[in-house]
Structure 1
Amino acid sequence: MASFGWKRKVGEKVSKAVVQQFVAEAEKAENDGPGHDDEEEEEEEVDWLQAIKRRREILLEDCAAKSTRLKDEGAVLAEEGRHWEAIKKWDEAIQLTPDNSLLYEMKSQVLTTLQEVFPAVKAAEMAVKFRPLWWEGWQTLGRAQLNLGEVDLAVRSFQVAIHLCPSESTLWREDLAWAWRLQKQNVATKEKMRQEEETKNQILNAPELEQDYDFESDEVLAACVAVAERQTRYEEMKRTAVVVDSEGNIKNVLTGEGASEDEATPSNEQFVKARGL
């Protein structure tokens, strides 16, 4: 019993020492173990993300600065008449800052000068896409559309520009006024072409000649005179073009050498003589 008790007391005493040592090691493990390393890694990870973000900001600043330099170089080239070199500079700048509307607008102006009508319209469309409230972008788009022949679209673009900047007088007095004149001219030209086609069909299918006439009767002469007058009117229409003056009035202007009235409309005697041959 005494031996058991001694062992029990010794064991109790040793057990406390082991426990204390275990507790000490556990606390040290908490401070220096995997959990502590995770916190340090989290802190390091946050620092890494911040570094990447800062690096990206620096790169964007570098791209913007280089894009501005290329834009200015292109403007100088365009002023010197070196248009294709200017476009190349602006294309490089667009690669760096693809949402810069000014680059597209400048490119559209130069392409319009070079008569590259469709690319000019596409570039101007990109300009208003990235900056829809910029009246100069809409003005450039309207001018490019006029150059392409899209008069109705140009009128709308100029109207948008005026809505955004009604105080800009050139939009009213030059751009929109010119587009309206062209619009009127297009309508009048289409009407003239319709009349020409109708007159031509009346000549080919003259209703006066559908009947059977006595060759020596006056009815034959009247029918042939009517056909001749139609032919003369058709030839006159083909020699005229529709224009709109500065006041917006539509006029038909003779484009070729016009004949005199006596030569244009044959008399009955001339017509009978011709029939006699």
Structure 2
Amino acid sequence: MASFGWKRKIGEKVSRSAAQQFEAEEERSEGDSEAAGDEEVDWLHAIKRRKEILLEDCAAKSGRLKEEGARLAEEGRHWEALKKWDEAIQLTPDNSLLYEMKSQVLTILHEVFPAVKAAELAVKFKPLFWEGWQTLGRAQLNLGEVDLAVRSFQIAVHLCPSERSLWQDDLTWARTLQKQQLATKEKARREEEAKERILNAPELEQDYDFESDEVLAACVAVAERQTQYEELRRTTVVIDGEGNVQNVVSGGEEGSQSTETPAKEQFVKARGL
């Protein structure tokens, strides 16, 4: 019995010490977990801060390249300026001002299609950038897209109506070109119709008695059509000082035959000569 009691006491002592050791180890484990958690938070914060620093460095370097390109453009070194701005775009690809400046220089270099694409990116990244719409309209005019240029200038005027050059110069000129383009298309249509009336004249499909008056009337009709066609060919669509579209007929070359419609008396019957 005594031995059993001794063993029991020894067992209780061992269980108590083991429990205390387990509790101590658990506290140390919780402390290590909390420390590890704190280190993880610090690590994430460090990564975020590092990213912010890199972004700040990219923006600063992009701004420096932008200014260097602007100075080169002012000196007329346009291709070098484009290279600087392309490097800046690699650092800040959503900077609309870089694309707008690039479009201006490309327009100067007569790179019309790349100029339009650059201006389109400028207004894509900043839709309320009225200067970007103005540059886009000018690039579209150089490309021959008059209707698109009118729309771009109208958007620019809507965004900045106080800028007088937009609607007094850019939009007015684009609308004038639009009128001239429409007038030129109308002239080409009328010229084609006049040519068709000559080639397929109904008078040429009939058989005439060359001693009758009908053949004279047919000749007069064909001559009138020919005169109208020649006059249309010599007509030029021009714009006057007030921006109005006019059709101006240029004079015939010296020594050339007159294109006036012959009078009926100038025709004679074939057998009456």
What TM-score, normalized to structure 1? 0.90
Q: Cα distance 1:106–1:199, how it changes in 2: closer, same or farther (>3 A)? A: same
Which ranges of structure 1 fall in alignment gaps of 5 or more residues? none
190, 193, 197: which one aligns with 1:202: 197
1:149 equivalent to 2:154? Answer no
1:11 equivalent to 2:7? Answer yes
User: d(CA) in 1 for partners of 2:118 and 2:59?
Assistant: 20
91, 96, 100: which one aligns with 2:91: 96
1:124-159 Cα offsets, whole Å, 9 max, x none, are 010001111111111111111111111111111111
1:234-271 Cα offsets, whole Å, 9 max, x none, are 12212222122242322113457457998121534655
Q: What's the CA shift for 1:194?
A: 0.5
Which ranges of structure 2 fall in alignment gaps of 5 or more residues? none
CA RMSD of aligned residues (A): 2.4
Q: What's the CA shift for 1:50?
A: 0.8
How many residues are treated as equivalent by the alignment? 272
Indicate the residue corresponding to 1:174 in structure 2.
169
For residue 232 of structure 2, what is the amino acid of its counterpart? M
For residue 50 of structure 1, what is the amino acid of its counterpart? H
**Residue pairs, 1:62-211, within 5 angstroms:** 62-211=57-206
Q: Cα distance 1:60–1:121, how it changes in 2: closer, same or farther (>3 A)? A: same
User: What secondary structure, in the 3-state scheme, does the structure 2 residue paired with 1:21 have?
Assistant: helix
For residue 27 of structure 1, what is the amino acid of its counterpart? E
Contact residue 199 and residue 230 of structure 1 kept, 8 A: yes
Contact residue 184 and residue 244 of structure 1 kept, 8 A: no
1:167-220 Cα offsets, whole Å, 9 max, x none, are 110111001100110111111111111100000000100122222211122221
For residue 148 of structure 1, what is the amino acid of its counterpart? L
Q: What's the CA shift for 1:274?
A: 11
User: d(CA) in 2 for partners of 1:102 and 1:72?
Assistant: 12
1:249 equivalent to 2:244? Answer yes
**Residue pairs, 1:26-41, within 5 angstroms:** 26-33=22-29, 35-41=30-36
User: What secondary structure, in the 3-state scheme, does the structure 1 residue paired with 2:258 have?
Assistant: helix
User: What secondary structure, in the 3-state scheme, does the structure 2 residue paired with 1:264 have?
Assistant: coil
Q: Percent identity?
A: 70
User: d(CA) in 2 for partners of 1:247 and 1:240?
Assistant: 20
For residue 17 of structure 2, what is the amino acid of its counterpart? Q
1:220 equivalent to 2:220? Answer no
Contact residue 240 and residue 256 of structure 1 kept, 8 A: no
User: What secondary structure, in the 3-state scheme, does the structure 1 residue paired with 2:206 have?
Assistant: coil
Q: Cα distance 1:16–1:274, how it changes in 2: closer, same or farther (>3 A)? A: farther
User: d(CA) in 1 for partners of 2:209 and 2:32?
Assistant: 120
Contact residue 141 and residue 154 of structure 1 kept, 8 A: yes
Q: Cα distance 1:46–1:184, how it changes in 2: closer, same or farther (>3 A)? A: same
